[in-house]
Amino acid sequence: MPKGLLIVESPTKVKTLQKFLGNEYLIKASVGHIKDLPENELGVDIEDDFKPHYVILPGKAKIIRELKKASREVKEIYLGPDPDREGEAIAWHIAEEIGEKGKNIYRVLFHEITEKAVLEALQKPGKLQPSKYEAQQARRILDRLVGYQVSPLLWEKVRRGLSAGRVQTVAVRIICEREREIQSFVPEEYWSLTATLRGKGSTTSFDAKLVKWKGKKVKIANEAEAMAIKKTLESLPFRVTKIIQQERERHPLPPFITSRLQQEAFRKLNFSAQKTMRIAQELYEGVSLGKMGQVGLITYMRTDSVRVATEAVHHVREWIKKQFGETYLPPKPNHYRSRKGAQEAHEAIRPTSMELEPEKIRPHLTKDQFELYKLIWDRFVASQMVPARFLQTQVEIQSGEALFSATGSIPLFLGFMALYVESEDNHEGDKEESLPPLSEGEVLDLLALTPKQHFTQPPYRFSEATLIKELEEKGIGRPSTYATILSTIKEKGYVRLEKGRFVPTELGFVVNDLLVVHFPEIFDVEFTAQMEESLDQIEEEKKGWVETLREFYSHFRKDLEMAKVSMRNMKAEVIPTDEKCERCGSKMVRRWGRRGYFLACSKYPDCRYTKDLNEAGVSMEETDTRCQQCGSPMVIKNGKFGRFLACSNYPACTFTKSLTTGVACPQENCDGMIVERKSRKGKVFYSCTNYPHCTFALWDKPIPERCPQCNFPFLVEKPTRSGISKRCPNKDCGYRVSD
Report the catalytic residues: 300
CA distance 403 to 445: 16
Distance in angstroms (rounded) separating the CA atoms of residues 77 and 60: 19
Q: How far apart are CA 120 and CA 145, in angstroms?
A: 40
Angle (CA) 536-537-541 rounded to 5° is 120
Q: Which residues pair with 103 in a beta bridge?
A: none
Contact 289, 295 (CB under 8 A): yes
Q: How far apart are CA 619 and CA 651, in angstroms?
A: 15
Instruction: Centre a 10 Å sphere on the Cβ of residue 328 and count the other Cβ atoms it contains.
Output: 20
Compute the distance between CA of residue 664 and CA of residue 684 in angstroms, rounded to an integer.
Answer: 18
3-state secondary structure of 67: helix
* 726 close to 737: Cβ distance less than 8 angstroms: yes
| First vs last C-alpha separation in the chain | 75
Of 457, 458, 456, 450, nearest in space to 223 by CA: 450
Distance CA 409, CA 425 (A): 14
Task: State which amino acid sits at residue 426.
Answer: N
CA 494 to chain centre: 16
Do 372 and 278 meet the contact criterion of CB atoms below 8 Å apart?
no
List alpha helices for 99-245, DSSP H: 115-123, 130-157, 168-184, 223-233
Helix axes 482-491, 464-474, angle to 10 degrees: 120
Cα angle 499, 503, 506 (rounded to 5 degrees) comes to: 135
Residue 245 CB neighbour total at 10 angstroms: 10
What CA–CA distance (Å, rounded) separates 181 from 573?
27
Q: Find all residues with CB under 8 Å of 463, minimum gap 6, and list them.
A: 266, 500, 501, 502
Task: Give the residue from 356, 277, 286, 279 showing the smallest Cα distance to 14.
Answer: 286
Rounded distance between C-alpha atoms, residue 109 and residue 16, angstroms:
15
| Helix (H) or strand (E) run with residue 71 in it | helix 61-71
The answer to whether the beta carbons of residues 25 and 19 sit under 8 Å apart is no
Residues in contact with 132: Cβ distance below 8 Å, sequence separation at least 6, in sequence order: 85, 88, 539
Could you tell me how many helices (H) and strands (E) the chain has, helices first?
17, 35
Q: Collapsing DSSP states into helix, strand and coil, what is residue 413?
A: strand
- Say if CB 530 and CB 515 are below 8 A apart: no
Write the secondary structure of 569-620 as one string of H (helix), E (strand) and C (coil).
Answer: CCCCCCEEEEEECCCCCCEEEEEEECCEEEEEECCCCCCCCEEEECCCCCEC
Exposed/middle/buried for 212, CB within 10 Å: 0-12, 13-18, 19+? middle
User: What is the DSSP secondary-structure string of 536-573?
Assistant: HHHHTTSS-HHHHHHHHHHHHHHHHHHHHHHS--TTT-
